[in-house]
Amino acid sequence: MTSFTYAANPVRVVFGSLDAVGAEADLLGLRRVLLVGRPRYADRAAEALGPRLAARFEDAAMHTPVDVTERALKVVAEYDVDGVVAIGGGSATGLAKAIALRTGLPQLIVPTTYAGSELTSVLGQTEDGRKTTQRTPEVRPETVLYDVELTLSLPAAVSAASGLNALAHAVEARYAPDANPMTDLLAAEAVKLLTSALPRIAKDPSDVDARTDALRGAWLAGTCLDAVTMGLHHRLCHFLGGKFGLPHAETHAVLLPYVMAHQGLEDAGEIFELAASLPIPHSLAELGLTEADIADEPEADLLRAAITGTRPAAPPSLKALTKQVVDSFAAAPDRIRELLTDLVETLHGYAIRTELTQDEWEYAIGFLTRAGHITTDTRQEFILLSDTLGVSSVVDVLTNSRTPDTTPSAVLGPFYVEGPPETPQGADIAAGLPGTPLWTDIRVTDTDDRPVPDAIVDVWQSNEDGFYDVQLPDVDGPVLRARFRTDAEGRLRFRTIVPSAYPIPADGPVGQMLDAVGRHPYRAPHVHFMIAKPGYRTLITQLFVAGGEYLDSDTVFGVKEGLIVDFAEQRLEFTFRISGSSA
């Protein structure tokens, strides 16, 4: 099962009449409204708002210029506005969001196009020719009122471009890295509604049913966009719009099939044909862009095709490729087939969703190669990689989380050595190494608190400086590492030193990765234990020093609350509870 998270969009959505805008404003407690929008629609909205209307602003602009927002904010302050009603396309919605970001005022949006941005927590703003995008719940409108009648007078060309813009929201949700079953359903329905409605609108702009389908499709597509991370399509459109002043909807409409082809979506050709049948620009050249403008862009090949307007090259069938690889495992044993199938589907999906480049993949292979070269019997770089990515802890939880009555498990770590020397009880495993002396008194029981005699307990830890014996070439033989056997009462006792926090080996690829992402390499201070006896499940765990450093940021994510122990007065007492092998 693939894990996912979905949070329902909290926007109140009303399909009805503009005449209800006053009642909806009342529900938000608005008494002094700023109305954003051109007179064509705003005059009627002003009439519906009545005495709630405090001021109007008619200069909303494409790409939400910051200087326009600053002018609108002066009106907000001058008229003591307590909320914003925006009616129009994406420009009006964008300005309302920008005002809300700076003031916290509630918003009521009445879309007259198929922008879809009224459903999202995304705001794009332009300043000095550069468009930046941010995502924050503070800009998500409280209420959206859809009135199909307002779209009937929308020219066919504007309707088509706006509708393809909405379609891009749904398409991008299909390959977003955080897509989930709910966004898949919403995106599929949005694509169905929009691809059906747009040709009908182009043929007959007064077709109410087609307009209704388009508006509903835009609503669902916007909901998709709010739930997932924006990808390549929006990044390119926002970049081109901000830098070259290209019209927002038309840029989305032109680029959509080319980005789809680049992403390997098999229906890119169908969307190209749909766009070609609509009364819109069909190339970036028609919008004023030249090849010289995009010469240094990473996606220059994609943009070059969009400039000329030629049909995008048919992508290889990535689904078919994945299926071909999966089918090659058909003769494998069930569990191996299951593991390899999911691995291939996950890796292929990862490569597609993240638009993985050849250079990035070669770097990843080189990273793994370097990890292999540095790995030895005493330096387990791949275990470090698994640990620092949290995979070891995930597998530990999946494997060892059995009952709440057993002692929590923990990761094995890279410094375990099989077959440590069996040592008599009471021995000093520090062998005279410097450090704060520690007397350890351990008891091993079953889940009914009955002692478990003759259990084999392996113990290992680092020295005062944070090194294990296998890291110290001058150490002769095992130190701070031993194997004990519990007595008839399930007890074992030994002397050691109090463990210290220490860095994992950071001079290899894993250390470079931690540096690159700004993470420290330190582990919280702990002692390792492995407890085994026939008829019982083996317990691998660690005991952490209460009050020690890095308990809340252990670099291998290994600290569990039940394993933090008081080492007061240089004495450690603890009872391990292990379960029978059938538990």
Nearest to 160 by CA among 211, 120, 208: 211
Nearest to 351 by CA among 328, 325, 330: 325
Dihedral of CA atoms 386, 388, 389, 393 in degrees, nearest 10, equals 70
Q: Tokens 């070891």 belong to which residue?
A: 392
Nearest to 69 by CA among 92, 46, 53: 92
Task: Supply angle C-alpha 476, 482, 484, rounded to 5.
Answer: 150
User: Cα–Cα distance between 179 and 5 in angstroms, integer?
Assistant: 9
User: Cα–Cα distance between 513 and 366 in angstroms, integer?
Assistant: 13
Instruction: Give the dihedral sign, CA 166/167/171/172.
Output: negative
Task: Report residue 178 CA to chain centroid gap.
Answer: 6
149-167 burial, b at 16+ Cβ within 10 Å, e below that, comes to ebbeebebbbbbbbbbbbb
User: Cα–Cα distance between 478 and 429 in angstroms, integer?
Assistant: 9
Which uninterrupted H or E stretch holds 439?
strand 437-445
Instruction: Count helices and strands (H / E) in the chain.
Output: 17, 18
Tokens linked to 195: 């691809």
Tokens linked to 486: 């519990």
How far, in Å, are 145, 395, 396, 475 from residue 576 at the CA level?
61, 21, 17, 31
Contact between residue 524 and residue 501 where contact means Cβ atoms under 8 Å apart: yes
Contact between residue 249 and residue 168 where contact means Cβ atoms under 8 Å apart: no
Residue 16 is which amino acid? G
Nearest-Å Rg of the Cα atoms of the chain is 32
Which string of DSSP letters, residue by residue, matches 116-168?
A: -GGG-SEEEEEETTEEEEEE-GGGS-SEEEE-GGGGTTS-HHHHHHHHHHHHH
Catalytic residues: 468, 502, 523, 526, 528
How far, in Å, are 402, 525, 541, 550, 555 from residue 397 at the CA level?
9, 21, 12, 21, 17
User: Cα–Cα distance between 560 and 336 in angstroms, integer?
Assistant: 32
* The total number of residues written for the chain in this structure: 583
User: Cα–Cα distance between 180 and 189 in angstroms, integer?
Assistant: 14
Beta carbons within 10 angstroms of residue 49's beta carbon: 19
